[in-house]
A and B are shown apart, each in its own frame.
Chain A
């Protein structure tokens, strides 16, 4: 079983230089994520959610403040963190199995036997037995995204980051994968950080929902979701959380953003 990671984000600020001007994308982000916790992040488009994940995964190391994983400052990408992007990003020339094995290429912790066992276990975990030698073009969107999840998990990382992983999927597949994610999270005990535009998804999955707001991107508030799992989406308590969170996106609060088309209309 993977050891779950502790993420500590302190006074994080991120600027982009755009045409000579400085764009303050993240401002004073402070967040402590406990090992094994499931965090979801919601917020208007452009408030820096993807940027935050890119900083945690280590694809972008130009920032002020600190991000610690188990007390070590993040300086680069590392196999202790896995990520699932909005698009599956599989290599189309590799089969399902080879795509998942790609994650293990530079894994020095596992023996060959452990690698093999991990690949098999994760193919099973995402329910793709029988599709090991299929190519990505032969898979549906939901299946591809499950391969991407298996590829991200195959190193047994301490933290799994997910950037709107189900955004492009139909409701049925989305619900199915949400349940799989919860199962994976409890089976593997990994710390999870998932970005979503879907408030319902955020509540359904999270121990805590982080609400961000734009210009500059910052944390507006953090909402504890105090509901036992599984969570019926139509329960009264669920609806109360939904109403509460939707207030942060209420129409009329940021008219300029609505005009700019930057705000997500709650569905």
Chain B
């Protein structure tokens, strides 16, 4: 592969490790073989080519792009809202012994409730439209972000806090110039987890509320109802691709933000 990379210096995916393709290629080959030889029920499992055809067709179907867009929009909105509240809550609890004592036990208890168990409550209060889904996604993002931010702020050393006191940091300076940057590695870990949770919540809420709104989850459920297995598989592939693209983006943002840690 390295020779290929040298031969194609300006190749758009330079930096991409082609070994990552081994498993998918092998899998698709096996799938095509299984389908061609007739090991599987071809009504339940379409050929790879069939899925590609479905995919090609679906891109021009009227609900696909709006669905993809809708899912992304809700995912990002919920993630941003939940992330901001998560960081704010984590900092507040980490900063104030009083707030910590008052709220942490309750938050820990709430954590025991599976996120999807909240969905009925949220829908009965807020209905079935985008707002309710975004709230659900925000709540899913909130937990890992808040918990990790809290731990990160707690991990700020006494030594650094004393430096802040010697230089007479105000509360705002303390938060923005010491606590947040010192906690940044943990916060970014929390945000990465939050991103995964948000995408799960995005698709999950569309599965559970399949008859309301439009999103990738709705498309997959509708594909199943129409016995269009090709569409279901294509939907899953898109969900996976979008999810891992979001994570790649997050990873890249992280290494940029944490450059000060060096290569360690």
Expressed in whole angstroms, the Cα–Cα distance for A57 and B165 within the complex equals 10
B264-A93 in contact (CB<8A): no
B260/A92 in contact, CB under 8 A: yes
Tell me if B166 and A57 are in contact (CB < 8 A). yes
Assess whether B167 is in contact with A79, with CB atoms less than 8 Å apart: yes
Q: Which of A64-72, A98-106, A199-207, A219-227 participates in binding chain B?
A: A98-106
Find out whether the CB atom of A91 lies under 8 angstroms from the CB atom of B181: yes
Highest count of chain B CB atoms <10 Å: which of A105, A136, A138: A105
Indicate if A183 sits at the interface (CB-CB under 8 A): no
Q: Mark B150-166, 1 if CB is under 8 A from A, else 0.
A: 00000000011011011
Residue A135 CB within 8 A of the other chain: yes
Which single residue of chain B is at the shortest CB-CB distance from A81?
Answer: B166
Q: Is the CB of B168 within 8 A of A79?
A: yes
Q: Counting chain A CB atoms within 10 Å of each CB, which of B163, B181, B259, B262 scores highest?
A: B163
User: Which of A12-20, A82-90, A235-243, A258-266 is the contact stretch?
Assistant: A82-90
Contact B166 A59 (CB under 8 A): yes
Question: What's the Cα separation between A106 and B159 when bound, in Å?
Answer: 19
- Consensus secondary structure, chain B interface: helix
Please report the C-alpha to C-alpha distance between residue A238 and residue B86 in the assembled complex, in whole angstroms.
Answer: 62
* Chain A residues in 8 Å Cβ range of B168: 77-79, 106
Beta-carbon contact of B262 and A135 below 8 Å? yes
Known: A105-B177, A135-B262. A93 touches B182 (CB 8 A): yes
Residues of B within 8 Å of A, CB-based: how many?
21
Asked if B167 and A106 make an inter-chain contact with CB atoms under 8 angstroms apart, the answer reads yes
Q: Mark A214-236, 1 if CB is under 8 A from B, else 0.
A: 00000000000000000000000
CB of A11 closer than 8 Å to a CB of B: no
Number of A-B contacts (CB under 8 A): 56
Contacts of A91 in B (CB 8 A): 160, 163, 177-178, 181-182
Q: What A residues does B261 contact at CB under 8 A? A: 92, 137
CB atoms of A89 and B260 under 8 A apart:
no
- Residues on A with beta carbons closer than 8 Å to the beta carbon of B162: 59, 85, 89
> Known contacts A89-B160, A91-B181, A102-B177: does B260 contact A137 (CB below 8 Å)?
yes
A94 within 8 A of B: yes
A94 contact set on B, CB distance < 8 A:
181, 260
> Could you tell me the distance between the alpha carbons of A137 and B170 in the complex, rounded to whole angstroms?
27
The count of chain A contact residues (Cβ–Cβ below 8 Å) is 22
Within 8 Å CB of B169, what residues of A?
105-106
Q: Is B184's CB within 8 Å of the partner chain A?
A: yes
CB B183 to nearest CB in A, in angstroms, measures 10
Minimum distance in angstroms from B112 CB to a CB of chain A: 35
> B42 an interface residue at 8 Å Cβ cutoff?
no
- For residue A92, which residue of chain B has the nearest CB? B260
Give the complex CA separation of A78 and B168 in angstroms: 7
CB of B166 within 8 A of CB of A105, answer no
Q: Is B173 an interface residue (CB 8 A)?
A: yes
In the bound complex, residues from chain B placing their C-beta under 8 Å from that of A103 are 167
Interface residues of A in 99-149 (CB under 8 A from B): 102-103, 105-106, 135-138
Interface string of B224-252 (1 = CB under 8 A from A): 00000000000000000000000000000
Contact A102:B167 (CB < 8 A) given known A85-B159, A87-B159: yes
Q: Which residue on B lies nearest to A148, using beta carbons?
A: B163
| Distance, CA A94 to CA B261, complexed state (A) | 10
Give min CB distance, B111 to chain A, whole Å: 30
Q: Is the CB of A83 within 8 A of B260?
A: no
Residue of B nearest to A86 (CB): B159
Q: Tell me if A77 and B181 are in contact (CB < 8 A).
A: no
Contact with A along B128-147 (1 / 0, CB 8 A): 00000000000000000000
Q: CA A91 – CA B169 in complex, angstroms?
A: 14
Chain A residues in 8 Å Cβ range of B184: 93
The residues in B between 34 and 54 inclusive whose CB is less than 8 angstroms from any CB of A are none
Query: Whole-angstrom distance between the alpha carbons of A190 and B160 in the complex?
Result: 25
Q: In the bound complex, how far is the Cα of B212 from the Cα of A57, in angstroms?
A: 64
With A and B bound together, what is the CA distance between A93 and B160 in angstroms? 12
CB contacts (< 8 Å) of A136 on chain B: these are 260
Roughly how many angstroms separate A78 CA and B260 CA in the complex, as a whole number? 29
**B172 CB to closest chain A CB, in angstroms?**
11
Name the residue of chain A whose CB is nearest to the CB of B185. A93
A-B contact list, 9 entries, CB within 8 Å? A77-B166, A79-B167, A79-B168, A91-B182, A93-B182, A94-B260, A106-B167, A135-B262, A137-B260
5 further A-B pairs in the complex, CB-CB below 8 A; given A91-B177, A106-B167: A85-B159, A91-B181, A93-B184, A102-B163, A137-B262
Enumerate the 4 nearest inter-chain pairs by beta-carbon distance, A residue then B residue, closest first: A137-B262, A93-B260, A93-B181, A106-B168
